[in-house]
Structure 1
């Protein structure tokens, strides 16, 4: 008989709490099951978070909730991870739970693994004696074959039974076809033998424990074999029947990583990223939950993948900023990986040639084990970095003559070369030669980028697109001049300069689909001489064995950034881009075009490498009290009326100072305009909070948010909290 049960349900809404409903069921509901509920006159899918003893409203006023799952879709560990993340990042639990599930499962779609048709004995077939039916030996043999369990039609055919034999038993009512969920088990044989490890790789691999919480920071120069350490660490987990979760920063890296892992291990490997269709993501997520996919490779959101047999988590390129979600639920997948490994009692391996200062600080403090890979394969040397002073030099579409000659030399030697320019489009701005008009975005404090393919103006901040005017909108002059160079313009110039060689552009405009990206990579991997032009998409983890020469068009970007992380990111980017050169037997050459070649940061990076510069930056952060030596939170507010956003933050600071008076241990900055004050027709301001101790910040934030939600202006402006922000402007 059905009974009524009281449940607490988290629904995807901006409110930081769960709501009470009643469930009518023969069995008690469980936390982690999805329910369909009415919430403010709309039907929403929520997740049961608790079974409370008492309700916050009278029992007869409780609304009903319809169970969607027969068992919890989110297991206890994943539910706990989401609740912890909601508390730490101060985000509504319902939205966190929705973010943790594939899109298909955020609604009322039926959960469950894909099914396949199998043949099994009917009750009549099970009741026959051994050797029956008499006079039909093949049918009798097939009945014996099926007594061991249900079989796929392919298995039956492979065992030597024809379709007519199967149909004969079916006609007699002795066998039947059924649709069942895939419940296969897999061994972990190797498709390719592991490579021989050098002494440093062996030491790193031996440091990774089989079980138990442990975090290792694997700092390895580009080309030192970090991936081989990952593979052999995973091999140990697979042999023990456990799963591995591997995070990569970019969609573009996922297919090549999957291919490498699939070649090594003959086990199911699942992909989880935004380039996979909703149905495919849902299937992989559920296969991982059932323990079928033994290796799961994905981008940021894959950290929420359920694992039936968790073994190890690996975060490749752990320093990469894309692990931090910048909108909505602003979590860090890298930091959640640390908590999840602790929760599951499994090892976590963070890998990078240019570790983040946060991870490096944890390693120096002894919280992480610091592992080093400094050796490259025999015959492979680090690329030679040098600055190219472009002060007072004539540039041709952004390139100095020495850079052009370096590219020509590489092509003539039958090698490949790369031009790194971190600006998409043809030119950053279109300008009138007569009156100085510029193609500014009407919705943002930004210029619209000129694109040639197809020809249009595009704001990369609000996505506004407009046609290119035929004359100046202000003075009506016909001469509009592209100023500066982007990837399109560089591609066009190089195609004219080197007409006998292909120029391959890799950015988000040229490789919108996975097919386009794969085709470009295949052309590069063919080894034929060519020129590569691209943005950060080229800097992350790619192996281009024939690239010998790299030109970095603008090495000055991070030297004078308003963001305190600017220099760290500049050094990481230069080191990562330089790592694409000279990865095989070729001698790598990297030229940094700069107006500030004598800057001490650049000189430290070139002469000593990333590690000494990172330690220098860490010591400066310690002196200034900036993260990772403190805990930082940003309160952002935006409104079409700037006075509303500014006044909201002023009131927010007053409330904060009442709860936690300013002191050397707890500091406030702002309200301040954001670096781009106007975006999408909204004016943006921010308030920065800094605490010497993380627990002090975490204890303060819930009390402060409760006060903020009571402000009248809180309902008239968009506001959000960013704990441990990676972008401070």
Structure 2
């Protein structure tokens, strides 16, 4: 009996050097295999997972390899999901199969149909039905007029909404009520946060409010088995709410009704490896495709989002007041130039008036937060005799001194050594720390305020599982007087007892080469200020201190007034004059090699291939230059900026240019890796 073969297109992850980004043709004996079906197919000598995709019209090549297995137990991935992945692959210039398979749970890619059938059956047995009937009324604080208007607007029509609310204005309550409306309509809700450490507290709040609803999380902190289970619950429609980080934007949600991106301005929404996508921008696109509202929440929106509001493409929903009538903390700028200089040292960690202000808070039983965005004891050790510094032998960066374990650690490649007893170059015993990190600040505040209960939260103190939750719990319980930390504690946390926040050393970002540095600094300082005075009864005496050598800088003037709109207007005016985003589109072409000259030659050759075409399209290709940290783990890096006045011109140039890079790399044997970053955040 002759079996009819059907040609199907399958998206598979092909090696980058092949230049095969489109789906490949295979022969299938299964009639009417719908797009979105998971399959296993041969690729070279391997058998790999794949996803059936739409096949453009045309004749099939002869002698196609067969589809080995169909994972029929799992419903196909939906049309809108494939449209989202297809758009992301095209826009960020990645292979379709590479992206489509990368955003699925790794465990799913390992299973055959029998194993998958067992997993699904086990999932149905383990997951009890909801304890409460859908549509139970919300039990929470009453909304004020601005919150109620925002909820009504979100529920009235699809579109992209900027929920622009000062810190403590109740944005989360708006998310909860908007989610309740979507759930009551039988839809699913996707809520994204920029970082994993913000997930547990938001998850706890949603779980408490929506008891009886099935809630799952999706982020890199899950085990492979947990991630697969949560993804399948969402894909099968069993999960009502999905909370996650940027990867969650690709969750398969068959009845999606609402998307929320909290702290939408945060750079963590941009993936920095592999397919460098922006989850925030893809959330907006997904909302458009699926016809559902998208809520972008922030006290300090990204300038791209703010410009779209000004252009009328997004609708702004304002929450100008804190809940309970509380006021924002008063911002005090302390001029560090008024303190006596201390030659040969890092200078005073904290100005005496600030130390006194912290002591007064401790006496009243209140808490203070000291923000310093640099972990470790000191950024570098140096020899006072010969000038030696603790550079990393594998990177163009300093190794940071960590006093706790007496180590010098590179935060780029991880290379760690014990602190030498004497200078490696001249033998001098006087090796001193230069600069200050959170570890040193913690030590100094404990010396200045004996008896104060000081805690530190940064990447070094939260490595073990559950440590972050335990330390945050101590702060909430009032067991900490002074909290020292990095940006991990400067945003998203609801500390009710903190009445003073101090930014210890924020000036470095004022004069950085990256044009986005002022925007990031202003946002971070506004977020940090928002940790103070969240209890309305204490708001009137809450303060934020900024220790600065440049108190007259325009950024600090806007910060004193909590005036985001004035800051944004000034930045947008500068961006427009300079032809920078959001008034232009950028891409970065990066190359890595053992020698910088090899990477530079590769990028120059790439530019020569399309220089004439770029000029005709009005696209500028700048000469390749090293990034701020040019060497990491014995690999030299170079980058080349591509600037276009329009997004369309940039995309057309990249689409024709990048396929040529595969053959070009073969001519430059020393190039280890190359990649393109569309809409880069760090330049």
Using a 3 Å threshold, how does the CA distance of structure 1 residues 691 and 208 change in structure 2: closer, same or farther? Answer: same
SS across alignment from 1:385: strand
Which residue is 1:166 aligned to?
none
Which residue is 1:165 aligned to?
none
- The question of whether the paired residues in 1 share the 8 Å contact of 2:7 and 2:28 is answered with no
SS across alignment from 1:103: coil
Which residue is 2:548 aligned to?
594
Q: Distance in 2 between matches of 1:276 and 1:242?
A: 25
SS across alignment from 2:433: strand
Q: Are positions 1:39 and 2:43 aligned together?
A: yes
Q: Alignment partner for residue 410 of structure 1, among 348, 358, 361?
A: 361
Q: Are positions 1:516 and 2:467 aligned together?
A: yes
Matches within 5 A, 1:206-217: 206-210=152-156, 213-217=158-162
SS across alignment from 2:524: helix
Most deviating of 567-576 and 188-197: 188-197
Which residue is 2:488 aligned to?
537
Q: Are positions 1:645 and 2:599 aligned together?
A: yes
Deviation at 1:628, TM superposition (A): 0.3
Deviation at 1:40, TM superposition (A): 3.3
Q: Are positions 1:83 and 2:86 aligned together?
A: yes
Most deviating of 5-14 and 616-625: 5-14
- The question of whether the paired residues in 1 share the 8 Å contact of 2:147 and 2:174 is answered with yes
Q: Are positions 1:262 and 2:207 aligned together?
A: yes
Deviation at 1:481, TM superposition (A): 1.0
Q: Distance in 2 between matches of 1:486 and 1:3?
A: 69
Using a 3 Å threshold, how does the CA distance of structure 1 residues 569 and 657 change in structure 2: closer, same or farther? Answer: same
Deviation at 1:642, TM superposition (A): 1.4
Q: Distance in 2 between matches of 1:601 and 1:696?
A: 34
Which residue is 2:622 aligned to?
669
1:577-622 alpha-carbon deviations (Å, 9 max, x no partner):
0110111121211111111111122223223522210121011111
SS across alignment from 2:48: strand
SS across alignment from 1:676: coil
Matches within 5 A, 1:446-595: 446-584=397-535, 585-586=537-538, 587-595=541-549
Deviation at 1:65, TM superposition (A): 3.4
Which residue is 2:639 aligned to?
686
Deviation at 1:685, TM superposition (A): 1.3
- The question of whether the paired residues in 2 share the 8 Å contact of 1:4 and 1:22 is answered with no
Q: Distance in 1 between matches of 2:430 and 2:31?
A: 76
Q: Distance in 2 between matches of 1:329 and 1:309?
A: 26
Deviation at 1:28, TM superposition (A): 3.5
- The question of whether the paired residues in 1 share the 8 Å contact of 2:380 and 2:398 is answered with yes
- The question of whether the paired residues in 2 share the 8 Å contact of 1:416 and 1:549 is answered with yes
SS across alignment from 1:549: strand
Q: Distance in 1 between matches of 2:171 and 2:103?
A: 29
1:624-656 alpha-carbon deviations (Å, 9 max, x no partner):
110001111111111112111111111111122
Which residue is 1:170 aligned to?
none
Q: Are positions 1:247 and 2:192 aligned together?
A: yes
Deviation at 1:79, TM superposition (A): 1.6
Using a 3 Å threshold, how does the CA distance of structure 1 residues 519 and 191 change in structure 2: closer, same or farther? Answer: farther
SS across alignment from 2:561: helix
Using a 3 Å threshold, how does the CA distance of structure 1 residues 579 and 182 change in structure 2: closer, same or farther? Answer: closer
Which residue is 2:11 aligned to?
10
Matches within 5 A, 1:307-346: 307-346=253-292
Deviation at 1:442, TM superposition (A): 1.1
- The question of whether the paired residues in 1 share the 8 Å contact of 2:135 and 2:183 is answered with no
Q: Distance in 2 between matches of 1:410 and 1:303?
A: 42
Q: Alignment partner for residue 225 of structure 1, among 143, 159, 170?
A: 170
Deviation at 1:273, TM superposition (A): 0.9
- The question of whether the paired residues in 1 share the 8 Å contact of 2:12 and 2:24 is answered with no
1:479-519 alpha-carbon deviations (Å, 9 max, x no partner):
22111111111112223333423211111110113410111
1:299-348 alpha-carbon deviations (Å, 9 max, x no partner):
01000111121110000000000000011110000000011001111000
SS across alignment from 1:343: helix
Which residue is 1:49 aligned to?
53
Deviation at 1:262, TM superposition (A): 1.0
Which residue is 2:97 aligned to?
94
Gaps of 5+ in 2: none
- The question of whether the paired residues in 1 share the 8 Å contact of 2:138 and 2:180 is answered with no
SS across alignment from 2:391: coil
Using a 3 Å threshold, how does the CA distance of structure 1 residues 435 and 626 change in structure 2: closer, same or farther? Answer: same
Using a 3 Å threshold, how does the CA distance of structure 1 residues 655 and 687 change in structure 2: closer, same or farther? Answer: same
TM-score, length-scaled by structure 1: 0.87
- The question of whether the paired residues in 2 share the 8 Å contact of 1:21 and 1:63 is answered with no
Q: Distance in 1 between matches of 2:122 and 2:579?
A: 63
Which residue is 2:233 aligned to?
287
Deviation at 1:43, TM superposition (A): 3.2
- The question of whether the paired residues in 2 share the 8 Å contact of 1:419 and 1:550 is answered with yes
Which residue is 2:559 aligned to?
605
Deviation at 1:362, TM superposition (A): 0.4
Using a 3 Å threshold, how does the CA distance of structure 1 residues 69 and 455 change in structure 2: closer, same or farther? Answer: farther
- State which structure, 1 or 2, has the greater radius of gyration over its C-alpha atoms: 1
Most deviating of 484-493 and 326-335: 484-493
1:455-482 alpha-carbon deviations (Å, 9 max, x no partner):
3111111222222222211112222211
SS across alignment from 1:466: strand
Matches within 5 A, 1:381-396: 381-391=327-337, 392-393=339-340
Which residue is 1:721 aligned to?
676
Using a 3 Å threshold, how does the CA distance of structure 1 residues 364 and 685 change in structure 2: closer, same or farther? Answer: same
Q: Distance in 2 between matches of 1:228 and 1:438?
A: 50
SS across alignment from 1:417: strand
Q: Distance in 2 between matches of 1:465 and 1:11?
A: 39
Most deviating of 607-616 and 392-401: 392-401
Using a 3 Å threshold, how does the CA distance of structure 1 residues 400 and 688 change in structure 2: closer, same or farther? Answer: same
Using a 3 Å threshold, how does the CA distance of structure 1 residues 455 and 39 change in structure 2: closer, same or farther? Answer: farther
Q: Distance in 1 between matches of 2:427 and 2:382?
A: 12
Which residue is 1:163 aligned to?
none
Q: Distance in 1 between matches of 2:561 and 2:516?
A: 21
Q: Relative contact order (C-alpha < 8 Å, sep 6+): which is higher?
A: 2
- The question of whether the paired residues in 2 share the 8 Å contact of 1:10 and 1:48 is answered with yes
Deviation at 1:50, TM superposition (A): 3.4
Gaps of 5+ in 1: 119-178
Matches within 5 A, 1:41-440: 41-51=45-55, 57-59=61-63, 62=65, 64-108=67-111, 110-111=115-116, 184=129, 187-190=133-136, 193-210=139-156, 213-266=158-211, 267-391=213-337, 392-393=339-340, 398-440=349-391
Deviation at 1:397, TM superposition (A): 5.7
Q: Distance in 2 between matches of 1:3 and 1:588?
A: 76
- The question of whether the paired residues in 2 share the 8 Å contact of 1:104 and 1:282 is answered with yes
Most deviating of 62-71 and 429-438: 62-71
